[in-house]
Amino acid sequence: MWKRKELKSKAKKSLKKNYFAAVLICFILAFIGVEYSDSVTLIHKTSDNKDNITIIKEITDTSDYSQSEQINYDENIADDIFQVMTENASWIFKLFAGDYYILASIVMLLFTFFVCYPLSVGAKRFFIKNQDTKPSFVELFSVFKTKKYFNIVYVMFCRYILNLLWTLLFIVPGIIKYYQYRMIPYILAENPNITRKRAFEISKEMMKKNKWKTFVLGISFILWNMLTALTFGIVGIFFVNPYNAATFAQLYTTLKENTIKSGFIKSKELSKSPYRKEEEENA
């Protein structure tokens, strides 16, 4: 059995030896909206807060107009309303905003599947390796160098679709499935050759009887998240985000070791060896 305090203690120790690389990786993920985007959003909100208040005031100060005048006025401020609604949207969405919603959605999906998800897996790989060594910041982009890049995209795509379908059908089972598939990016980070079926099997086995504890582990960061909000994202960028990433990497390593002991997987099936050795591992 694992304990939250032990995982967090190990996470802090691993961060000390490679702090700046960890912060930079989490910032990049937050900036493009992969993970931890709230911390960047808070900073953006702060810088634009005055303008948004002005826009909202203009929208709400229309009670003195007649109904016909109101309609004309609404047409004039439509762009301002759209600006408020899309304030936190991705920069790619904003690029195609206006009459190109469908195109923007397609671009966003492609960007998510082929760029964001691989970067997320690369980040997981960095934090796994950072437990024992001092990996380079470029580990974030390691997925793009492996011959199994499209396999990673495919498995992550399947994970996304299944999570989406379960959530649309039933919310509670959707949440359960989300935690059941929680370890898939970490599994891909260590073995880009793994099949979709096997990745799902291993993640399910790892999370068996660990879903609630993993949920509680995430909730345990709530005070840090509140402090992040109070500091407009600063604490999140420089500490909470990398701390969170390192903690869940420690969780993965612990669950992997337990699963190896149970005999469900072999130690060679998941290893921390660099991607450039993947062909040697398969030989």
CA quadruple 99, 105, 110, 111: dihedral, nearest 10: 80
Mean pLDDT of the chain: 81
Whether the pLDDT of residue 193 is over 90: the answer is yes
Question: Does residue 97 have a pLDDT over 80?
Answer: no
pLDDT digits (tens, 9 = 90+) for 215-246: 999 999 999 999 999 999 999 999 999 999 99
Torsions phi, psi of 191, nearest 5? Answer: -140, 90
Residue 69 reports pLDDT greater than 60: no
Categorize the per-residue pLDDT at 95 as very low, low, confident or very high, splitting at 50, 70 and 90. low
Encode pLDDT of 194-220 as tens digits: 999 999 999 999 999 999 999 999 999
pTM for this model (two decimals)? 0.79
Say what the pLDDT of residue 71 is.
42
Buried b (16+ CB within 10 A) or exposed e, 116-134: bbbbbbbbbbbbbbbbeee
Q: Can you tell me the distance from the alpha carbon of 201 to that of 159, in angstroms, rounded to the nearest whole number? A: 12
How is the chain split into domains, by residue range? 4-275
pLDDT digits (tens, 9 = 90+) for 150-173: 999 999 999 999 999 998 888 888
Quote the crossing angle between the two packed helices 196-207 and 171-180, to the nearest 10°: 100
HSE on the CB side for 173, CA within 13 Å?
7
At 103, the pLDDT band (50, 70, 90 cuts) reads: confident
Position 270 scores a pLDDT of 87
Q: CA–CA separation, 257 vs 137, rounded Å?
A: 26
pLDDT of 258 strictly over 60: yes
Q: Judge whether residue 127 has pLDDT over 80.
A: yes
